[in-house]
Amino acid sequence: MSIIESVKNEVMLLSEKFASEADDKYDFWDEHIRYVVQEALVLAERYKADSEIVELAAMLHDVALVSKIGTRENHHETGAEISKAMLSKYNYPQVKADKVISCVNNHRSSKNCNEIEEICVADADVLAHFRNIPLLFKSAFKRLDKDFTLNDLRDTMKEYFERDYNDLSDRTKQDFSDRYKIICQIVLGDEHSYRTAVQNKPSRGD
């Protein structure tokens, strides 16, 4: 069995266990990680990154949350430690393992990244949110009080969209721009989407 298959199986088992114990039955793999993997591999091909490093890191980037170890605030650091132990267990070459671990440790923002593989994973983590917009709605519903208006919901979703879009690396932001405008138009409506697209329009220097 390849290292990719071994890590995937282990992460999927962790996700199944998490879902079975969660009140809302949230499945990390189906609702988030698989989208991150898909987007990361697209970016790896586009940016000529090491696809094996990127795929492993994408599968492992939230392993601390899936394992329910440590805090959300530090899940990147805890995840890096868990990834280190897991890759060592499978005798993965240390040079490659270090790159995977670095991707996991820096996945929370492209601003933290130095290597192209790290950027692929960090950007894919953001792009995955736009692949599963119902999850963003769920987060918005939890954040708002019970008497929220539709404008409250639109404003909260707009805030989520802008935060995620602006956290992308400049290159991915530019590549994603047209897709982002379409998503904003569909989810937020014409007036809101116009303001969001104009505010986040990439500059010519991006």
Q: What's the whole-model pTM score? A: 0.90
Res 205: pLDDT: 43
Helix (H) or strand (E) holding 199: helix 190-199
Res 206: pLDDT: 40
**Across 134-183, where does the E strand assignment appear?**
none
The segments of the chain whose pLDDT lies below 50 read 194, 203-206
- Say how far apart CA 188 and CA 175 lie, in whole Å: 21
Give the start-to-end residue ranges of the domains of the chain: 3-126, 132-199
- Say how far apart CA 34 and CA 181 lie, in whole Å: 24
DSSP three-state, residue 169: coil
For residue range 87-114, list pLDDT tens digits in order.
Answer: 999 999 999 999 999 999 999 999 989 9
User: DSSP 3-state helix, strand, coil percentages of the chain (rounded to 5)?
Assistant: 75, 0, 25
- The CATH class given to the 3-126 domain equals mainly alpha
